[in-house]
A and B are shown apart, each in its own frame.
Chain A
């Protein structure tokens, strides 16, 4: 009985802190942006790398992401999601834009091979964070494969719900339900991870 209440209080407190942070960013406080960067840049790079498989491009995406966060700070709404989710949604969107515009030339393919080695993430996390990540990864593996697949197609490959339905030959409603169920399960892990 007490745990959901504590989680709700924690979520509200986090949202309020994020709102304050973004208000400072919107007021052109570069120090606030640096705080946001320290909190999210590594995750943003991870998302961009996962989508692009190219470190140089992924770093460009991180730069673009924080510049866009700087410009769009006043649009942040803490009720819709955390500051981290806001930044990561921009990073994902920018990375997918690059992926779509990338020309599949021989040069690009060749560079992909070269960058693959360089894009191996460096360990920057504490032991505690690593434990959290491993726990999330384990939880992700407990999701039914079809739910996990829907999330990966949507989030990392940028497919729309209709494209996912076409690719998996599933009804649109099924795709929606799988995405909702999967995200609700993952959402429950966030409080524990924080």
Chain B
């Protein structure tokens, strides 16, 4: 709104003929810092409205109108009560006693009500706090149980790993001892059609001890390597060879397998998972023992 527009509307503003929106616009204009005669125009218009009102015949006002205003300036007037004649002393005592009893009763009721309310509030608060604490404890217990379960699994896994390591260490020590024994035979196992040896068997027939050492038996999904002791046409399973990720295998051979006499050869086949009582898969590696 410009100053010219405001001044054109000033009369209607003073006379109260602007809508709420128009009034807001006019007030917003007045709030602006710079004007060229807007306030003076509004003042002139307001004076004109005052003259319009002064053209009416004034009316006398009763003084009670002012008293009504005055009483509301200072709050509501006190309620006046008619004084009653004083009762005889007995009646007065009886009324006083009754009034005191009523006051005491009300006070007692108020106190009880207050106590009951406080008790109810305290009970509600305690119930809420207990529910909160129970919920917290339940959550903490569930968390602790989960942590304990996870730790137990890790402990078991760690124990298995340690056992495996210890077994490996035992086998390695066993293999080293066998290797250092003069009577131990070292038998190389190679593919039947020739090729580079893929494993070695350390056999001590006197002590009925043996191990198989390989670094070329890579793990294969759904299959297991199986070691065989061959004597004549008999093929005795000496157990499964579980290769590590790098293909390394160090397996000990059960001493019972040497009880029936000197083996002729040692072989490795690839069988289905879990092995087989007799070889079914192809012979991957085979090594014959030297004739005694």
Contacts of A28 in B (CB 8 A): 73
Given known A67-B72, A81-B46, A164-B17, contact A180–B8 (CB-CB < 8 A): yes
Contact B51 A176 (CB under 8 A): no
1/0 per residue, CB under 8 A from B, across A139-160: the answer is 1100000000001001100111
Contact-residue size bin, chain B (C-beta under 8 Å from the other chain): 35 or more
Q: Which of chain A's residues have a CB closer than 8 A to the CB of B43? A: 11, 79-81
Cα–Cα, bound, A6→B42 (Å): 20
Chain B positions within 8 Å of A, measured between CB atoms, are: 7-12, 14-19, 22, 39, 42-62, 65-66, 68-70, 72-74
Query: In the assembly, what is the distance between CA of A32 and CA of B30, in Å?
Result: 29
A22 at the interface (CB under 8 A from B): no
Q: B49 contacts A89, CB within 8 Å?
A: yes
Q: Are A42 and B59 in contact (CB under 8 A)?
A: yes
Let me know if B59 and A124 touch, CB within 8 A.
Answer: yes
In the complex, the chain B residue whose C-beta lies closest to that of A155 is B15
A125 to B60, CA, bound (A): 9
Instruction: Determine if A186 and B57 form an interchain contact, defined as CB atoms under 8 angstroms apart.
Output: no
Report which of B9, B52, B68, B73 forms a contact with A33, defined as CB distance below 8 A. Answer: B73
Closest approach, in angstroms, between the C-beta of A47 and any C-beta of chain B?
Answer: 5
A181 CA to B116 CA, complexed, in Å? 74
Residues A46 and B53 in contact in the complex (CB < 8 Å), given A182-B11, A187-B45: yes
Structural contact, A133 and B12, CB atoms closer than 8 A: no
Given contacts A121-B58, A187-B45, 14 further A-B contacts (CB under 8 A): A46-B53, A47-B53, A62-B65, A82-B46, A88-B53, A92-B53, A93-B16, A121-B60, A136-B54, A160-B22, A161-B22, A175-B12, A179-B11, A187-B48
12 contacts between A and B (CB under 8 A): A30-B74, A43-B56, A45-B59, A59-B62, A79-B43, A80-B39, A81-B47, A85-B46, A89-B16, A137-B55, A180-B11, A186-B51
Partner of B59, one of A122, A139, A177: A122
The smallest C-beta distance from B70 to any residue of chain A, in angstroms, reads 7
Q: Which of B16, B39, B44, B57 contacts A154 (CB 8 A)?
A: B16
Contact B50 A180 (CB under 8 A): no
Contact flags (1/0) for A154-178 with B, using CB distance below 8 Å? 1100111110100000000101110
Identify the 9 closest CB pairs spanning chains A and B, nearest first.
A81-B46, A183-B48, A42-B58, A121-B59, A179-B11, A186-B48, A154-B17, A180-B11, A46-B56
Pairwise interchain contact B12-A67, C-beta atoms closer than 8 A: no
Q: Which residues of A contact B (CB under 8 A)?
A: 11, 28, 30, 33-34, 37, 41-43, 45-47, 49-50, 55, 58-59, 62-63, 66-67, 70, 79-82, 84-85, 88-89, 92-93, 96, 119, 121-125, 129, 132-133, 136-137, 139-140, 151, 154-155, 158-162, 164, 173, 175-177, 179-187, 189-190, 193
Q: How far apart are the CA atoms of A70 and B46 in the complex, in Å?
A: 20
Most buried by B among A85, A129, A175, A182: A85
Does the CB pair B55–A140 fall under 8 Å? yes
Check if A88 sits within 8 Å of B73, measured CB to CB: no
Given A85-B50, A162-B19, A186-B52, the answer on whether A30 and B73 have CB atoms closer than 8 Å is yes
Min Cβ gap A180→B in Å is 4
Evaluate contact between A133 and B61: CB separation under 8 angstroms: no
A136 CB to closest chain B CB (Å) equals: 5
List chain A residues, Cβ under 8 A from B68.
63
Q: How far is the CB of A37 from chain B (nearest CB, A)?
A: 6
Residues in A with CB closer than 8 Å to B44 are 183-184, 187
Find chain B residues with CB under 8 A from A89 CB: 16, 49
In the complex, the answer to whether A183 meets B59 with C-beta atoms within 8 Å is no
A29 to B182, CA, bound (A): 127
| Chain A residues in 8 Å Cβ range of B60 | 42, 121-124
A residues less than 8 Å from B65 (CB atoms): 41, 59, 62-63
